[in-house]
Structure 1
Amino acid sequence: MPVTVFGSVNADLTFPVPILPAPGHTVLGGAWRASPGGKGANQAVAAARDGAAVRFAGATGRDAMAATATAALRGARVDLSALVETEAPTGAACILVDEAGRNQIAVSPGANLLARAAQVPDLAAGEIVLMQMEVPAEEVATLVHRARAAGARPILNLAPAAPIDPAALRALDLLVVNEHEAAWLAARLGTAGTAPELHAALGIPVAVTLGERGAEAASPIGDWRIAALAAARVLDTTGAGDCWCGVLAAALSRGTPLEAAMHRAAAAASIAVSRPGAAEAMPTAAETGARLAA
């Protein structure tokens, strides 16, 4: 089945720095670079490079940054027929990456705030619909309900953590959060931020990524905990979570069970963190397969 991604697309401006600055602190770094990014676009590229047929719905401006923002999508042959141009500026992110690969990120959403669920074409039964929270929450909720009504499989990466219609959360086929997003959501649900507790509170499958400690998931058919795969070196963690989500969606679209899909996502993410950038760091299916085999 195909994968439809509804989400953000940005131009990333990345600055390598020796240390991440504290408030009021100026740090001199290396040469900056412009590259494609945005959680939606990153995940779409990750899914496409893992072999899925992907279409992307989002919004850019009619400016010079749009070409940078969409370069990886075009390179991965993602269907962009549902991408619209607006009068707002293309979304942009300023990313600082230190020598340990840690990052600080500031995002200007720009045209992403004009993305609409109505841009997404008709959905097929069983189709994966992958979403994030860098576009308007009400549009995400609308698409969740529409996907559920069509028999598609809505997956939400609640990143960055933000309020959304509780009924939309409970209509998901899968919720993906990291530790911080899990804690944020758990505080609002009055529960703990583990996958089993969130699953019990929402009644849907939940996956929680745990960084170097791997990931856990809970669903009606069981709970799983998988280990992370150590990277040869950690160069840049930007987009690692997006890689995990995109490859997970691609695997699920091929009928792979959730636990096995999580293992594949972990392998892909271990490759992505060893490379600079976000969308451009996503591995191919062959690279991920070789990492799993090793």
Structure 2
Amino acid sequence: MTVIVFGSANADLVFTVPDLPAPGVTVMGQDVKTFPGGKGANQAVAAARDGARVIFAGAVGRDGFAEVATAALRDAGVDLSRLAVPDAPTGCASICVDAAGRNQIAVAPGANALARAGQLEDAILSPGAIVLLQMEVPPDEVAALIRRAKARGARVVLNLAPPGELRVEAMRAVDLLIVNEHEAEVLASRLGCAPDAAALRGVLGAGVAVTMGEAGVVAATAAGEVAVPAFSVTPVDTTGAGDCWCGVLCAALDRGLVLEAAMRRASAAAAIAVTRPGAASAMPRAAETDALLSPLRP
């Protein structure tokens, strides 16, 4: 069993600031640190640290930021044999984090724009695999991989983040679509429906999970609707919370957990991640998530 992640890998420059900057306003930061990031890499690390065998396909440049972008992937034991290294700069994100843990992010995609679905061969897109995708690589490549993975029998999970333009037919083909509240509103406006999981599923026909931060997560599938509350923590940095949730959810599904149990595990892992600075580097190990979940077990 394998979780295959096709997505972005970035170097994240994280600025700690008292308040998020308003337009035209310069805010003096208290600190700056460099972390590995990118939604695809973050999710791959989260899944691997939760115990899954993970293959990552994406692209980094030939510059110093490439080592930063791949450090957590290598540390987590992610298979990087499908990683491309084109003649382009490594993707980079500038992240401001305020005293309440809220963030403001700008991303330059760099080599991520050259990631191609063809980096993954058909043979590994098998019925035993989960394919996890996001929207920080070209939408046409995302759509192409969805088509191929479904044709080969793999289970497809799409995190529509950021909410870029992806053809509706591609979204209808996935097994589970994951969006946060903002992404749900953008998608609902496009589809002409309410921004809740049931309404989105009604239009798309695919399973839909809407993550809502402190309000938890609701998923609507053919089996019905499932709601899982969030864990109560004091956030330090919420940058990688959604990525952690997606990666751990897929790792849990890969191990055979039913959706509700997988959602609960993903929520526990995300709660741990937001208590730490950074994105990929903040993803918890399986034992840490087990410890948070243990009081909830009979």
Common fold: TM-score over 0.5: yes
- For 1:48 and 1:36, the matched residues in 2 are separated by 15
Post-superposition shift, 1:124? 1.3
Q: Distance in 2 between matches of 1:259 and 1:210?
A: 16
Could you tell me which residue of structure 2 aligns to residue 222 of structure 1? 224
Q: Which residue is 2:190 aligned to?
A: 188
Q: Which residue of 2 aligns with 1:124?
A: 126
In structure 2, what is the equivalent of residue 81 of structure 1? 81
Q: Which residue of 2 aligns with 1:287?
A: 288
The residue type paired with residue 241 of structure 2 is A
Q: For 1:226-265, list aligned pairs within 5 A.
A: 226-231=228-233, 233-265=234-266
Give per-residue Cα distances to partners, 1:120-159, cap 9 Å, x unaligned: 1321113100000000000000000000000001110000
Report the counterpart of residue 48 of structure 2 in structure 1: 48
Find the residue that maps to 2:58 and give its secondary structure. Answer: strand
Indicate whether 1:24 and 2:18 are aligned: no
Equivalent in the alignment of 1:152: 154
Report the Cα distance in structure 1 between the residues aligned to 2:150 and 2:109, rounded to whole angstroms: 27
Amino acid at match of 1:139: E
Partner Cα distance (2:184, 2:128) in 1:
27
**Structure 2 residues without counterparts, runs of 5 or longer:** none
- Contact 2:15–2:29 (Cα < 8 Å) also in 1: yes
Cα displacement string for residues 232-271 of structure 1 (whole angstroms, at most 9, x for unaligned residues): x210001000000000010011111111110000000000
Secondary structure of the structure 2 residue equivalent to 1:260:
helix
Q: Partners in 1 of 2:185 and 2:247 — Cα distance?
A: 22
Aligned residue number for residue 34 of structure 1:
34
Residue identity (%)? 64
Give per-residue Cα distances to partners, 1:81-116, cap 9 Å, x unaligned.
000101110000000000110000000000000000
Distance 1:34 1:60 in 2: 16
Stretches of 4+ aligned residues off by more than 6 angstroms: none
Which residue number corresponds to residue 12 of structure 1?
A: 12
C-alpha RMSD over aligned residues: 0.7
Say which SS state the counterpart of residue 216 (structure 1) adopts.
strand
3-state SS in 1 of match to 2:84:
strand
What is the CA–CA distance in structure 1 between the aligned matches of 2:276 and 2:119, rounded to whole Å? 33
Unpaired segments of 5 or more residues in structure 1? none
2:95 and 2:71 mapped to 1: Cα distance? 18
What's the counterpart of residue 267 of structure 1?
268
| 1:36 CA displacement | 0.1
1:218 maps to amino acid: A
Map of 1:100 onto structure 2: 100
One-letter code aligned to 2:30 = G
Matched, 1:62 2:58: no
Decide whether the 8 Å contact of 2:160 with 2:179 is kept in 1: yes
Under a length normalisation based on structure 2, what TM-score does the superposition of the two structures give? Answer: 0.97
